[in-house]
Amino acid sequence: MKKSISLYLCTLLIAAAILPARAQQSSDKLPQLLIRLDDIGMNHSVNMAAEKVAKTGMPFSVSLQFACPWYLEAVEILKQYPQVSVGVHLTLTSEWKNYRWGPVLGRTAVPSLVDSNGYFPQSTRAFAKSGYKLDEVEKELSAQIERALASGLKISYIDPHMGIALSTPELRALTEKLAHKYKLGISILSSVNYFDETYKEMWGEPIATKKSAFLAYVSKLNPDRPNLMVLHVATPSPEMDVLVDMNSNMMNTKDGKPLTSLHRQTELDALLSPEFRDMINKKFQMVNYQQLLSTKDVGILKASDK
């Protein structure tokens, strides 16, 4: 009899521990918002913007370019913020005028991936026409992932800078192979979604309507799937303000004046705005990729089932 009572009490205690969590999940059916900040490590201005967001304490994800000159500063910053999930922004292009980077392995190790100056191509089109060798792509992307893993940061996922690493069936298969090899998730690109995310970015939204479009979108998220919002942020600086995007005319005026800095500052301002902060835990709950990986059998994962 005593054993039965003890067992009954033990069962009640376990239920008491489990039920509140389940009740919370069922009662607060708030949509999940995944904020992913791209191109971290690209330069100091981008890193400073990521730090501003990290200081809010909100969970979010950053895609870090380990091939870029300022990645070490980004690593140093991100080690202070465990609520930030880190991914490797697999990089095979270098899209700015007069500000360039090349492969982690160096130009001689992967010659099909560089131009005559030893840098990555400046556009997706240039990359596609470059005659790249798939085995060299694998070597370089592996080196970027291994640099990330050696940085001391916890790496949760990989994703393709400018879409290149998922842009052909062969490159997609290679990216999935690397995700499996290094036990990482893959963040969505448009219709290629490994966590069943919805996808939206503000990159092409006009500066004048960027904030209102961002707030309107996050106020009406899908309640049944994680909702990924990809942002490109930066703080103002002399270097950021003169960057000319060689991949898209949308980022420059008709007379060639760069607009990238203003686009990125506007996206940062929207993310830090009181209007956005007031929606958190009212309109949606914020999550990052590490949280998704810890709760769902996806990413590494589901790639082989696609």
Q: Of 79, 73, 217, 216, which is closest to residue 153 (Cα–Cα)?
A: 79
Is there a single domain that holds both residue 121 and residue 253?
yes
Beta bridge pairs of residue 160: 90
Tell me which amino acid residue 246 is.
M
Is there a single domain that holds both residue 39 and residue 84?
yes
Q: How confident is the model at residue 103 (pLDDT cuts 50, 70, 90)?
A: very high
- pTM of the full structure: 0.87
Q: What is the pLDDT of residue 24?
A: 38
Q: Of 282, 248, 272, which is closest to residue 54 (Cα–Cα)?
A: 272
- Rounding to the nearest 10 degrees, give the CA dihedral for residues 96, 102, 107, 111: -70
| Alpha carbon distance 62, 301 (integer Å) | 20
Q: What is the mean pLDDT of residues 130-135?
A: 97
Q: Tokens at residue 215, please?
A: 């707030």
Is there a single domain that holds both residue 132 and residue 119?
yes
* Beta carbons of 112 and 130 less than 8 angstroms apart: yes
pLDDT tens digits along 164-188: 999 999 999 999 999 999 999 999 7
pLDDT tens digits along 277-302: 999 999 999 999 999 998 755 555 44
The whole domain housing 1 covers 1-29
With a cut of 50, say whether residue 15 has pLDDT above it: no
Is there a single domain that holds both residue 89 and residue 179?
yes
State the DSSP code for 81: -
